[in-house]
Amino acid sequence: MDNSEYVKRAKKAVKDGLSVDDLIKRLLELVESAEKAENELFKASSDMYAFYFPEWERLVTEKEDFIESFSSSISRKDLSKLKGISTESMGYDLSSEDLDVIYLYLNELRNISMVKKQIWNRIEEIIRSNYPNMYSIAGYEISARLIALSNGIKRLAMLPSSKVQVMGAEMSLFSGKKGDRTPKYGVIFKHERLSGLSLEKRPKAAKKIAAAISLAAKADYISKKDISEEIKDRLEKEIKGIRP
């Protein structure tokens, strides 16, 4: 028996079936693992640096600042200048060999953080060029997550907006028993229009935003026309009309 016809046909089906949505899903996975690695490396390296120069480490709490500071040198002499503090330190005096090793490690941290930014840029570009409505209503991060969660724009466009509202909150949606309170927000919680609102208005606004995103997905999948201005205006009006 010969299955080569089937193998050939299946290979073609795979090739034709893979789409830009699958790419978005994969890129999201990449960027999530990069973020995880970045956090891990940051935690370890800031602890390490605090061992050597605690006075400096306590001034730099932001991850981005910390990573930026180590571009050329990591010695007390060079870094103390940046913050204008004394080179006097109660930390352990590391030899230059030790500092070299730590410098290599910090370089890895810097690289992974750069990679992370690059992947996000790429995701943004893909969303902007493929799904202009989604891009302008939901932003690239939320759009990408929604597309990944729903396995493609086609399914996302078919989903009701109430589902779009809680997508990404499956844990709280399914955990607990029947009749428990269901979540109000999924990945749309990060939407820029939500964070500025008072707590009373937020749940209602989430509904409106989900409806707008759902509409944008439908426009991107079905008519492929850019009607984002229209949707945006309507969304603004609706959010203004919300009474607490």
Residues at the contact surface with another protein, assessed by CB under 8 A: 1-3, 6-7, 9-11, 13-14, 17-18, 22, 174, 177-178
Pick the closer one to another protein by CB: 11 or 224.
11
Residue partners of 124: CB distance under 8 A and separation at least 6: 135, 140
Q: Residue 67 or 126: which CB sits closer to another protein?
A: 126
- CB nearer to another protein: pick between 3 and 86: 3
Minimum distance from residue 19 beta carbon to another protein (Å): 9
- C-beta of 38: minimal distance to another protein in Å? 26
State the CB neighbour count (10 A cutoff) for residue 101.
12
Return contacts of 34-40, CB within 8 angstroms, 24+ apart: 34/112, 34/115, 34/116, 34/119, 35/116, 37/112, 38/63, 38/109, 38/112, 38/113, 38/116, 39/63
What is the closest distance, in whole angstroms, from the C-beta atom of residue 36 to another protein in the complex? 22
Give 27 or 197: the residue with its C-beta nearer to another protein.
27
- The Cα–Cα gap between 82 and 64 comes to 15
| 161 contacts: CB under 8 Å, gap ≥ 6 | 207, 210, 211, 213, 214, 215
Cβ nearer to another protein, comparing 177 with 243:
177
Q: How far is the CB of 18 from another protein (least distance, A)?
A: 5
Provide the minimum distance between the beta carbon of 217 and another protein in the complex, in angstroms, as a whole number.
21
